[in-house]
Structure 1
Amino acid sequence: MKTTTISAGLLAATLLAGPTGAADLRYGAPYQQPPPYAAVPTWTGPYVGVNLGYQFGSSALSMNPSGIVGGVQGGYNYQIGQFVIGAETDFQFSGAEDTFAAYKFSNPWFGTLRGRAGFAMNNVLLYGTAGFAYGRGEVEWFGWSQTKTHTGWTAGAGIEVAFTQNWSARAEYLYVDLEKQNYTMLGLNAGIESSIVRFGLNYRF
């Protein structure tokens, strides 16, 4: 009788412990998941970078000065919620040039000073930009040449993707309108309107 009582007690203890053990296995601490992608905590801060692209231009006398363009940029962003505002300046060296009859027009360099406003989705930033533009125009004719500094405006849009806490890449379109100047030596009024597609790499501090 004593042996039967002990056996029954052991059986009852086993039955009571069974659900508890199963519960421990089922509802215990979950499997440790790997950490998610290290998202950009904020776009706020200064940055510098480089860019490379192509300039499609048009000017006087049906000339279309076009060529490879590249340069540097720098700026500052400030994020409020998902909205990002900031300012950026850049300076570009350009191989844009074209000829018509004896005339040659080129745009060896230009720069911009722009405001930016965008919408951030974690590590992706969509933005628009607009502001002031300036640049050099050069006209050549039968060995004579004259240069002028043009001013104007620019506007565009782009997308920037952060792939680490500090580095980001972007693709951008800019329209740059440098107003006409009178090249008196050659009797020619010329400016340049350009569409620029470029890709850039930024380091954010």
Structure 2
Amino acid sequence: MKRFALLLASATAFVSPALAADVIYDEPPAPAPMVEAAPQYNWSGLYVGGQAGVAFNRDSGAFSSDTTGFSGGNDDSNSGFIGGGHIGYDYQMGNFVIGAVADLNYIDAEANTSYTLPTATGTQTFGADQEINYVGTVRAKAGYAMDRFMVYATGGLAYADIENSYNGGGTYTDGLGNAYDVSARTDNDDIGYAVGGGFDVLATQNVSFGLEYLYTDLGESSVDVDYTPVAGGLGGASFSTDSNNDLTYHSVMAKASYRFN
């Protein structure tokens, strides 16, 4: 019995180191580093904001006439301030963005056109003043978005409040003593179109900045002045003057918008 116990003890002592040598413990893998996902900007949603810039290259049409002794010219405000507010909506489909925008702007744009006719003592000046009080547009947009940057084309309806006024008085007497009653008619279309393009950048998901160019055509403006001999006067023949010009201008405006998306 003692011999069996000794043999068992010896076998256990011989086998235990071998088993211990065969047990291998793998250390757990190190946790993967935390990588923050890049932000995914979305252009869909309603937005409101403001814009300001410059309008330029708006030429008025000089007067022409069917009488002699006529000379004229114009004095245009070739550039001026333009600025106001806008509201719009964009919808993003992949990289493509479609939308619509409406804006209303004050514009500092006016033109003065004048001409002179001879009198017995020199000349008499006649003319017209033209001023755009405000201009607005309602336009469609189509753009391509690259994360926080978007370029787009735009076009649609343009409308304005335009004032034409005649200057020069209601009578005229030429160098021969012929007297005339003077009457003026003014007309302008007020409605046209605007086309252009621009780009926007998202500073945050809700705030964007951009730059936009527009070519705006508001139709045609005209001023017609008629000279009719006074009844019982010395004579003379009726004549008229007229000025027709296209109400067109270019504008470049910086924009800032808040986006509800």
Number of the residue aligned with 1:170: 210
1:179 aligns with: 219
Aligned partner of 1:73 in structure 2 is 86
State the match for 2:44 in structure 1: 44
2:151 alignment counterpart: 126
Could you list the runs of 5+ residues in structure 1 that have no partner in the other structure?
A: none
Look up the match of 1:97.
110
In structure 2, what is the equivalent of residue 153 of structure 1? Answer: 193
1:117 is matched with which residue? 142
TM-score normalized with structure 2 length: 0.63
Moved more, 166-175 or 176-185: 176-185
Letter in structure 1 aligned against 2:104: F
Amino acid corresponding to residue 97 of structure 1 in structure 2? E
Instruction: Count how many residue pairs are aligned between Structure 1 and Structure 2.
Output: 195
Query: CA separation of 1:75/1:143 partners in 2, compared to 1, >3 Å: closer, same or farther?
Result: farther
Cα pair 2:48 2:86 within 8 Å, conserved: yes
TM-score, length-normalised on structure 1?
A: 0.78
Q: Distance in 1 between matches of 2:31 and 2:139?
A: 52
Does the 8 Å contact 2:109/2:131 carry over to 1? yes
**Native 8 Å contact 1:94 1:108 kept in 2:** yes
Query: Residue 56 of structure 1 corresponds to which residue in structure 2?
Result: 56
CA contact (8 A) 2:133 2:161 kept: yes
Matched to 1:155, the amino acid is V
Given that 1:87 and 1:116 are in contact with CA atoms closer than 8 Å, whether structure 2 keeps it comes out as: yes
Query: Closer, same or farther in 2 for the Cα pair 1:4/1:95, shift >3 Å?
Result: farther
Q: Match of 1:196?
A: 251
Alpha-carbon offset, residue 10 of structure 1: 6.3
Output the aligned Cα RMSD: 3.1
Distance 2:143 2:98 in 1: 6
- When structure 1 is superposed on structure 2, of 65-74 and 96-105 the one drifting more is 96-105
Q: Percent identity?
A: 30
3-state SS of 1:58 partner: coil
**Which stretches in structure 2 are left out of the alignment for 5+ residues?**
1-9, 63-73, 115-126, 170-183, 226-240
SS at match of 1:164: coil
Distance 1:143 1:7, change over 3 A: farther
Post-superposition CA distance 1:139-173 (Å, at most 9, x none): 45648897856211110011111122221111111
Farther-moved stretch of structure 1 (155-164 vs 136-145): 136-145
The structure with the largest alpha-carbon Rg is: 2
Is the 1:75–1:88 contact (alpha carbons within 8 Å) kept by the matching residues of 2? yes
| Structure (1/2) with the larger helix percentage | 1
Report the CA distance between 1:109 and its aligned residue: 1.2
Name the CA distance, whole Å, in 1 between partners of 2:20 and 2:129.
Answer: 102
